[in-house]
Amino acid sequence: MRLINLFKIAIAAIRRNKMRSFLTMLGIVIGVAAVIAMLAIGQGSNQSIRETISSMGTNLINVMPASQNRGGVQKGRSSSQTLDVADVTYLKNNSTLISAISPELDGSGQIVYGSNNWPTSIYSGNEEYSFIKKYEVESGRTYTTKEIKNAAKVCLVGQTVIENIFTDDVDPIGKTIRFNNIPFKIIGTLKEKGDNTFGQDQDDMILAPYTTVMKRLFRQTHLRAIVISAKSEEQITETSAEITKLLRMSHKLKDSEDDDFEIRTQEELISNFGSISEMMLVLLGSIAAISLVVGGIGIMNIMYVSVTERTREIGLRMSIGGKGRDILRQFLLEATLLSVLGGIIGVVFGIVTSNVVANLLAWPILITTDSIVLSFLFCTFIGVFFGWYPAKKASALNPIEALRHE
Amino acid sequence: MNKQTIIEINNLHKYYQVGDETVKALRGVDLSISKGEFVAVMGTSGSGKSTLLNILGCLDLPTKGDYFLDGENVKTLNRNQLAEIRNKKLGFVFQSYNLLPRTSALENVELPLLYNPLVSNSERREKAEQALIAVGLKDRMKHLSNQMSGGQQQRVAIARSIVNNPVVIFADEATGNLDTRTSFEIMALFQELNDKGMTICFVTHEPDIAKFTKRNVVFRDGFIIKDELIENRNNANHALAQLKEETYSFDN
Ligand SMILES: Nc1ncnc2c1ncn2[C@@H]1O[C@H](COP(=O)(O)OP(=O)(O)O)[C@@H](O)[C@H]1O
Ligand SMILES: [Mg+2]
């Protein structure tokens, strides 16, 4: 049999049974589209969490006071005062692996400018702080070493703060705002960072020298945290081990004593949140797998029923000279055409659906080639296999039996 | 006259196994059919007519005995070779037409040629058109099969059976679903084809229909009990004219 004739026969058969062809394709379209959309949502949120975490800092290591537990009373982290500026100096002088280090203090308060006021947060560190926490100056400048030394009342402001306390025509640089009644002169503005995955506005903040915050605002000597950059992502673990060792030495802890500080690395954050988002990915993946199986069973059913239904047609084709292999090829080609076409439509549909979800619900999505290839191959395979299998049986029939089939 | 033998069967048996029981549908049949013959295979229901026709048509194989078709021993052929024989040498007309639904008359008639790699596209189209002209459906080539009357559908089926220029046409109760007038019309068509030299083997249990053929072979319980030549076969066109007269006088 000629290939061109085979195509003629298969296409004629598809057109003759439009409803059946449509239903077969529908099963595949839904299966493929569901998998692509589910994986896009799952992988999208996964990626967005990763991005958020890595936007938190450059190879970031956070050292915090350990929450104290004395006499069975959990006192909480904020009340422990085990870290101070001396620790920062000690680490800086003794560590070989640290690339940058800064004390960190933060807190919340009310900004007042003229008749406008706005509740926000203040973050503070030394001259390396911006590098470690990935803050970039948009206009103006950051504070100098001298300003840190003098505990100068200067600050940089985030975009949300600017929007809420200044009118459009005002240049914030040079203006003086009050934060919890302390006047701060604005020397620079920060580049927009946007919301993180947890919906937190990263631009709703001001940034000041830690000395100012320590001495003038909170009047405390202990730090909320020490933030450190490792030289590279690979060296984060090694660096935190070194920090642990150095801090235990400087805090003169005995071997029997627990650390009075706690180290959190960016990597740990990623793996913590990563495992949550991986769980979500698995969940969405299972939903996708279920829709694949359901779609697959649908395809299987229609293919199976259609071949049974068409046994008389098979009998006729054989009685006028169609060979078993001609019949089999015809059904295989029909199934392949439908499955591939359905698969392509499914891919398009899946991408469109993902983007609609992304736009309407503002969910992060990530469509990967893997998810497209995987779902496409799986569905077309099911379509082709279940088109082939019953046809294989039917084409082995005696033409007379097939013709008599009711 | 030295006629060329097309079909030759010797001591043909066909048994069906139904549960524990063996149904002996054919029990030693000898028959030979020559080129140009128009044979009616007759007999009551269950006498083995269809069984014989299916074997002659290479749709089924005998349990025992030999079958030579156009000089070839069918017993030695495999499934694919049998399919090729059906495709190139045989034509079939079924009681229930067996046309592809929602498909034009032309496409239905082209179907056997699609399975023959030696026939080109243009050749196929031309042959199918000619076959449809031969059965009187020149104006209905593009009509869909399911939009045609029973008689027209059977004409399409006959066109399909002759499109490959077969050595013999087999018809199993081809008029079984049709009224008398349409049956006569179909028989007239078969007679016309036979007059042009086509060999036809026709199964029917209706003596009225068998009268239009040239030879009657009668079956009972898997045996041939009678095999006679019809000297003055009925002319179906005459019978049709007569039928019209009767209807006419009846109507008055
Ligand atoms: N596929 C089959 N399986 C079992 N028995 C069959 C089968 N086909 C035909 N028969 C039996 O063989 C006998 C002859 O049947 P058939 O050739 O169809 O008769 P006819 O066409 O003359 O009515 C009947 O008894 C019938 O029941
Ligand atoms: Mg019968």
Q: Which residues pair with A149 in a beta bridge?
A: none
**Considering the domain boundaries, does residue B114 fall inside one?**
no
Percent of chain A at pLDDT > 70 equals 96
pLDDT of residue B1: 45
CA B11 to CA B31: how far, in whole Å?
9
Any CB–CB contact under 8 A between A318 and chain B? Answer: yes
Containing B251, the helix (H) or strand (E) segment is helix B236-251
Q: pLDDT > 70: what percent of chain B?
A: 97
Residue B155 lies in a domain: no
pLDDT for A89 beyond 50: yes
Q: Are A312 and B83 inside 8 Å of each other by CB?
A: no
Mutate to test the pocket of ligand 1, among B20, B23, B42 (most ligand atoms within 8 A of CB): B23
> What pairs with residue A113 in β-bridges?
A116
Tokens matching residue B25? 């549908």
Distance CA(B184)–CA(B235), nearest Å, equals 9
Q: What is the mean pLDDT of residues A265-280?
A: 74
Task: Using CB atoms, pick whichever of A4, A315, A321 lies closest to residue B115.
Answer: A321
Q: Are A394 and A312 in contact (CB under 8 A)?
A: no
Task: Report d(CA B213, CA B34) in Å as an integer.
Answer: 14
Of A11-20, A36-45, A289-298, B236-245, the least confident: A289-298
Percent of chain A clearing pLDDT 90 (strictly above)? 41
Answer whether residue A197 shows pLDDT above 70. Answer: no
- pLDDT attached to residue A157: 94
Sign of CA dihedral A195, A103, A126, A131: negative
What amino acid is encoded at B119 in this protein? V
Whether the CB of B18 sits within 6 Å of ligand 1: yes
Mean pLDDT of B3-20: 93
Q: Which of A12, A316, A322 sits opposite B83 (nearest CB)?
A: A322
What mean pLDDT value characterizes chain A?
86
Asked, for residue B74, whether it belongs to a domain, the answer is yes
Q: pLDDT higher for A154 or A392?
A: A154
Q: Which atom of ligand 1 is nearest to the CA of B53?
A: 17
Beta strands in chain B, from DSSP E residues, in sequence order: 5-18, 21-34, 38-43, 64-69, 72-73, 90-93, 168-172, 199-203, 215-220, 223-229
Q: Whose CA is nearest to atom 20 of ligand 1?
A: B46
More confidently predicted of A349 and A280 = A349
Number of Cα atoms under 13 Å in the Cβ half of residue B38: 22
Q: Examine residue B121 and state whether it is found in any structural domain, yes or no.
A: no
Per-residue pLDDT at A193 exceeds 80: yes
Token pair listed for B160: 């399909």
pLDDT tens-place string over residues B130-153: 999 999 999 999 999 999 999 999
Asked if A97 and A230 count as a contact pair (C-beta separation under 8 A), the reply is yes
Lowest mean pLDDT among A278-287, A356-365, A367-376, B89-98: A278-287
Q: Which residues pair with B104 in a beta bridge?
A: B144
Looking up residue B56, the CATH number of its domain turns out to be: 3.40.50.300
Is A222:A79 a contact under the CB 8 Å cutoff?
no
In A129-167, which positions are buried (b, 16+ CB within 10 angstroms) versus exposed (e)? bbbbbbbeeeebebbeeebbeebbbbbbbbbbbbeebbe
CB of B151 closer than 6 angstroms to any ligand 1 atom: no
DSSP conformation letters of B135-185: TT-GGGTTSBGGGS-HHHHHHHHHHHHHTT--SEEEEESTTTTS-HHHHHH
Q: What is the mean pLDDT of residues A206-234?
A: 91
B152, HSE (Cβ side, Cα atoms, 13 Å): 16
What residues in B contact A325, CB-CB < 8 Å? 80
| Mean pLDDT for chain B overall | 93
**Tens-place pLDDT, residues A205-216:** 999 999 999 999
Closest ligand by atom to A401 CA = 1
Residue B126 forms part of a structural domain: no
Domains identified in chain B, total number: 1
**Averaged over B110-121, what is the pLDDT?**
94
User: Residue A110 corresponds to which amino acid?
Assistant: Q
Residues counted in chain B: 252
Cβ of residue B57 closer than 8 Å to a chain A Cβ: yes
Average pLDDT over residues B186-209: 95
Cβ of residue B176 lying under 6 Å from some atom of ligand 1: no
Residue of B nearest to A3 (CA): B117
- CA torsion sign for B72, B77, B82, B88 is negative
Say if B143 falls within a structural domain: no
SS3 label, residue B222: coil
Q: Over 90: is that where the pLDDT of B111 sits? A: yes
Tell whether ipTM is more than 0.85.
yes
pLDDT in tens, A138-178: 999 999 999 999 999 999 999 999 999 998 788 999 999 99
Q: Where in the sequence is the domain holding B39, given as residue range(s)?
A: 5-95+167-251
A251 C-alpha to center of ligand 1: Å? 102
User: Length of chain A, please?
Assistant: 406
Please indicate, yes or no, if residue B198 is contained in any of the structural domains. yes
Instruction: Give B190's pLDDT tier (boundaries 50, 70, 90).
Output: very high
Q: Residue B159: exposed, middle, or buried by beta-carbon count in 10 A (0-12, 13-18, 19+)? A: buried
What digits encode the pLDDT tens for the residues A7-22?
A: 999 999 889 888 888 8
Confidence of residue B47 (pLDDT cuts 50, 70, 90): very high
Please give the Cα distance from A293 to A299 (Å, whole number): 10
Q: Determine the average pLDDT of the residues in A23-28.
A: 84
8 A C-beta contact, residue A20 and residue A165: no
What's the gap in Å between B146 CA and the centre of ligand 2?
24
pTM: 0.75
